[in-house]
Homo-oligomer: A and B are copies of this chain.
Amino acid sequence: MGADDSNNEQDSEEQLLVRVAWHYFMEGLTQSEIASALGTNRPRVNRLIGEARRSGLVTITLNSHLTACVELEGILCRRFGLDRAIIVPTPTKKEALAEILGGAGAELLTQLLNLRTPQRIGVGWGQTVREMVRKMPPFRHPGLSVSSVMGGLTRGIEINTFDIASDLARRIGAECSYFAAPIYASSAESRDAIMNQNVFQEASANAAASDVVFLSVGDMTDRSLMVRNGVPRDLPISELIEQGACGDIMGQFIDRQGKPVDHPLNARTLALPLADLKGVKNVVLMSGGLNKAEVIAAALVGKHANTLICDEETARKALELADEVTAQAG
């Protein structure tokens, strides 16, 4: 009898829980309505609703392939101390990825511009950034400026840093400034000489003063435009790889910790230095594709960005690689 009684007690407790949950989640009654219908007080109903959710009596499921992305965004933010992550489902057609990521970037920039906060926008280089600019809806806010954060390429005309910056500037009615020079000088000394010129001082200052910078990273394979058309022909990529390079940010090659590798090429780069990039409040890293997972991981571990725009598959891989790196280092 005693056991029976306690069972009844529990049963009626669960009954109450189910009743409350039903009325609240299924019928949409207010907590007060439920309380008076069930002959209790509202605070209790409130507690019971919480209990119902915590105990798993109530299960809430999101029914979309996008759910996993949103969850991943949270994980990435926590793992890399990001302020924001935008993860899109990896498309079946890989060639559509740049366009998708670019669209996401354009949306973000539009959002930021509507808040009127960023006045100076820095742009890097790459297919994804190019696509972002293409997708920017044309509108004008007064007082905006766009600056390229890196020098241009001398070979291969597919995408040019000057074009990207000036196109964006035209679309949003902004002032525009570039590094009017090739990305790599012939030597470290040459670089310093160029940078000491007034126009470059100014370009560099403009870039460093950006409120937000949108940039991509490049990997070390032949798929990278930087590897194919940026790095001087007489410099074998293997040299960089031997120094631990796993990719570049603004033409500056970094290792798996995100630190610039010890190679002369880095000293020849005409671009916003990585150290100065850290002074920029918002750095949006927009890159995707499994081949870039390692550089993305490196850039994030090195805390070169506070915002990531990426595809799901690559982001997961990057998380994995980053864990390996920190496990070795730590």
Contact = CB atoms under 8 A, between A and B. Distances in A.
Nearest to A27: B74
Contacts of A74: 27
Contact of A66 (B8, B15, B66): B15
A14 B62 contact: no
B18 A62 contact: yes
Interface residues of A, number: 40
Interface stretch (A53-61, A141-149, A286-294): A53-61
A64 interface: yes
A39 interface: yes
Copies in the assembly, this chain: 2
A25 B25 CA distance: 12
A201 B82 CA distance: 83
Contacts of A104: 12
A100 interface: yes
Given A25-B60, A58-B63, A62-B26, A70 B18 contact: yes
A57 B61 CA distance: 8
A122 interface: no
B64 A14 contact: yes
Interface string A7-19: 0100010110111
Contact of A56 (B25, B63, B88, B114): B63
Contact of A70 (B4, B19, B112): B19
A67 interface: yes
A70 B107 CA distance: 46
B39 A115 contact: yes
A67 B22 contact: yes
B111 A39 contact: yes
Contact of A63 (B23, B59, B69, B107): B59
A166 to B, nearest CB: 23
A26 B60 CA distance: 8
Contact of A21 (B14, B15, B56, B62): B62
A71 interface: yes
A8 B60 contact: no
15 contacts: A12-B103, A17-B64, A18-B62, A18-B64, A19-B70, A22-B70, A25-B60, A25-B62, A26-B62, A56-B63, A57-B62, A58-B60, A58-B61, A58-B63, A59-B60
User: Which 5 A-B pairs have CB atoms at the shortest separation, nearest pair first?
Assistant: A18-B66, A39-B111, A22-B70, A59-B61, A25-B60
Given A18-B70, A56-B63, 20 more contacts: A4-B99, A8-B100, A15-B66, A17-B64, A18-B62, A19-B66, A19-B70, A21-B62, A22-B70, A22-B71, A25-B60, A26-B60, A26-B62, A39-B112, A57-B63, A57-B64, A58-B62, A59-B60, A59-B63, A60-B60
